């Protein structure tokens, strides 16, 4: 068998979605909070987008899952694996 296994692909997509999703949520919702608190700015939480910020975070999670999965396929493309039953 060449390439990544189904388990590796599933794990890479979960990690990519988690990393990109959490990072985008932090930028969208936590960054304005801390800027308001420590820099004395007046920015609405979520940059004024409300719940639309969740859609942006979901899109970022999909991009992250795709990115991590494609990187895994690139790394494992030439590896040969044999499994015994």
Q: Which two tokens stand for residue 44?
A: 């609405």
- Secondary structure letter of residue 40 according to DSSP: -
CA distances from 28 to 19, 22, 38 (A): 14, 10, 17
Q: CA separation (Å) from 49 to 10, 14, 19, 44, 45?
A: 31, 26, 22, 8, 8
Helix pair 52-76, 6-25: axis angle to 10 deg: 140
Between 64 and 77, name the one with better pLDDT: 64
- This prediction has a pTM of 0.85
User: What is the domain partition of the chain in residue ranges?
Assistant: 6-76
Q: What is the pLDDT of residue 83?
A: 67
Decide if pLDDT at 9 tops 70: yes
pLDDT tens-place string over residues 13-54: 999 999 999 999 999 999 999 999 999 999 999 999 999 999
| pLDDT tens figures, 43-68 | 999 999 999 999 999 999 999 999 99
């Amino acid at each position: 068998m060449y390439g990544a296994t189904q388990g590796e692909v599933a794990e890479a997509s979960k990690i990519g979605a988690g990393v990109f999703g959490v990072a985008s949520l932090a930028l969208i919702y936590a960054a304005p909070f801390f800027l308001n608190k420590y820099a004395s700015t007046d920015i609405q939480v979520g940059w004024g987008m409300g719940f639309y910020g969740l859609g942006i975070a979901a899109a970022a999670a999909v991009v992250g899952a795709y990115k991590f999965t494609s990187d895994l396929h690139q790394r494992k493309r030439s590896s040969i694996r044999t499994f015994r039953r």
